[in-house]
């Protein structure tokens, strides 16, 4: 505990902001220089009253939560490292294959280019998710008419959908507005449409619906493809989680996690429903 308090004291004393750390009995553990100037008497162990005049007050009891947070961040970093190793290992194997007699160098180089693109997409998604989590992106600033954005994205994904033999249908009211910034709405729609193209399977239809449920707008993306096992549904929004049929996919494993973060940050909810042979529907509902 002594070592822990010393680490906390060293950290807090390096902060420019007014921060005070107290133990469970409101005895002073540490204070940043700005907070010490406000407190006057900032001797460790003295009791501090309720009024700390604008300082951020932290309690030693919250440190286990901080440790849990650090453990979560470490786990995420390890997961990112693991996910990056896969395309890099494939890239190395492809490059080594170009040296073999009779190798189709052009085809191998094209496959290598795809692996580089996948690694780049993963890095972009990780950085974007980091921006969201640190609050650098305000997701719900204003409202955006959803249908024009959806139609533009579906048109941009037309070639990819045709290659996957997936038909995309758009429906909904032209006046429905979603409480997201245009960029954030675009990210949500792009990830949901790409997910349907990637996993629904040849011959399936993906329907993107913009609707108004009472006073609440909603974005629904559904398909009639192979579907997802019921036990996988609650985990689809976890980072890097892939259901069995998706484990060999080219996705980064972060798309639906980004969707959930954006929608919930704007006060909305995300739900996945469906089942094997019944397709998948992802519903993003917002309150106004």
The DSSP-derived string for 136-201 is -S-S-SS-EEHHHHHHHHHHHTHHHHHHTT-EEEEEE-TT-EESS-HHHHHHHHHHHHHHHHHHS-
**Mean pLDDT (whole number) for 261-282:** 87
Instruction: Name the residue among 261, 247, 256, 249 with its Cα closest to residue 281.
Output: 256
Please report which residue ranges of 28-62 form alpha helices under DSSP H.
33-39
Tell me the whole-structure pTM to 2 decimals.
Answer: 0.56
Instruction: Pick 275 or 53 by higher pLDDT.
Output: 275
Higher pLDDT, 161 or 78: 161
Where in the chain are the domains? 2-54, 71-133, 144-285
Which of 225, 255, 210 is CA-nearest to residue 164?
225
Question: What count of other Cβ atoms lies within 10 Å of the Cβ of residue 249?
Answer: 13
CA 270 to CA 262: how far, in whole Å? 10
Query: Does the pLDDT value for residue 262 go beyond 60?
Result: yes
Neighbours of 4 (CB within 10 A): 12
In this prediction, residue 126 has a pLDDT band, given cuts at 50, 70 and 90, of low
Domain 71-133: which topology? Helix Hairpins (1.10.287)
**Can you point out the beta strands (E) in the chain?**
19-22, 28-31, 56-59, 144-145, 167-172, 177-178, 205-213, 216-223, 269-274, 280-285
Please give the CATH architecture assigned to the domain spanning 144-285: 2-Layer Sandwich (3.30)
Looking at per-residue confidence, does 7 or 221 come out higher? Answer: 221
């Amino acid at each position: 505990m002594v070592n822990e308090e010393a680490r906390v004291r060293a950290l807090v004393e390096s902060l420019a902001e007014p921060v005070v750390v107290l133990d469970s009995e409101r005895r002073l553990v540490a204070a940043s220089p700005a907070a010490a100037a406000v407190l006057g008497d900032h001797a460790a162990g003295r009791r501090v009253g309720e009024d700390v005049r604008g300082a951020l007050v932290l309690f030693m009891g919250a440190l286990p939560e901080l440790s849990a947070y650090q453990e979560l961040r470490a786990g995420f970093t390890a997961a990112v490292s693991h996910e990056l190793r896969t395309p890099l290992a494939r890239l190395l194997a492809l490059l080594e294959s170009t040296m073999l007699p009779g190798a189709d160098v052009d085809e191998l180089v094209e496959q290598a280019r795809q692996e580089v693109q996948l690694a780049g997409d993963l890095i972009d998604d990780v950085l974007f998710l980091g921006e969201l989590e640190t609050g650098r992106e305000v997701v719900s600033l204003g409202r955006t008419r959803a249908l024009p954005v959806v139609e533009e994205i579906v048109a941009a994904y037309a070639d990819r959908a045709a290659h996957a033999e997936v038909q995309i249908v758009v429906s909904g009211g032209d006046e429905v507005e979603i409480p997201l910034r245009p960029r954030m709405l675009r990210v949500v729609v792009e990830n949901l449409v790409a997910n349907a193209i990637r996993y629904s399977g040849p011959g399936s239809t993906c329907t993107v619906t913009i609707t108004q449920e009472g006073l609440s707008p909603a974005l629904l993306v559904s398909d009639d493809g192979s579907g997802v096992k019921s036990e996988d549904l609650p985990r689809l929004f976890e980072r890097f989680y892939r259901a069995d049929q998706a484990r060999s996919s080219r996705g980064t494993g972060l798309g639906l996690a980004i969707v959930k973060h954006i929608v919930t940050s704007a006060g909305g909810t995300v739900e996945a429903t469906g089942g094997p042979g019944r397709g998948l529907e992802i519903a993003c509902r917002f309150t106004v």
